[in-house]
Amino acid sequence: MTFEIISLNISTQKGEKKRPVPEVEFITDSGIKGDAHAGNGHRQVSLLAMESIVKMQDKGLAVRAGDFAENVTTQGIVLPSLPIGTRLKLGGQIILEVTQIGKECHTRCAIYQQAGDCVMPKEGIFAKVIFGGTLRTGEQGAMDVS
């Protein structure tokens, strides 16, 4: 099963929207170089499907990739259905391992305040970087079956 990388997003500060960039460097056991959420925890990289963002757009919100603070926006894969431990291969060599599905939202973000709902706590996923490399927007991802 393959899927597309719609957007790659980073921020230098935690708690802010991420900005799209054309490419990122995944660092093994750390996350994305230059992103505020990089580190040695289990939530090194966040992913959200474009299909989830469209749900919020359908509620009348003017949101786009990165507005949910996700690092990687995908299309063509149902992210919250992936079991913990699933490995994803991005581009030619990057390997991510799913470590968490959804998250607890401690503070109601601006999106929740506007719509009364937010998709990231239920449909976003988190992963750690098993093998790093450079990824560009528009590249493909796949379930890693190796």
- Domain residue spans of the chain: 2-143
CA distance 117 to 113: 8
CA distance 92 to 141: 8
pTM for the model stands at 0.88
C-alpha dihedral over 74, 77, 81, 85, to 10 degrees? Answer: -70
The residue among 138 and 66 whose pLDDT is bigger is 138
pLDDT given at position 102: 77
Ranges of H-type helices in the chain? 50-58, 110-115, 120-123
Please name which of 62, 83, 61, 63 lies closest in space to residue 73, comparing C-alpha atoms: 63
pLDDT band with cut points at 50, 70 and 90 for residue 1: confident
pLDDT in tens, 68-77: 888 999 999 9
pLDDT in tens, 48-61: 999 998 988 888 88
Under a CB-based contact definition with an 8 Å cutoff, are residues 77 and 49 in contact? yes
pLDDT in tens, 69-120: 889 999 999 999 999 999 999 998 999 999 998 766 555 554 454 444 556 6
- Please check whether the domain covering 2-143 is classified as CATH 1.10.540.10: no
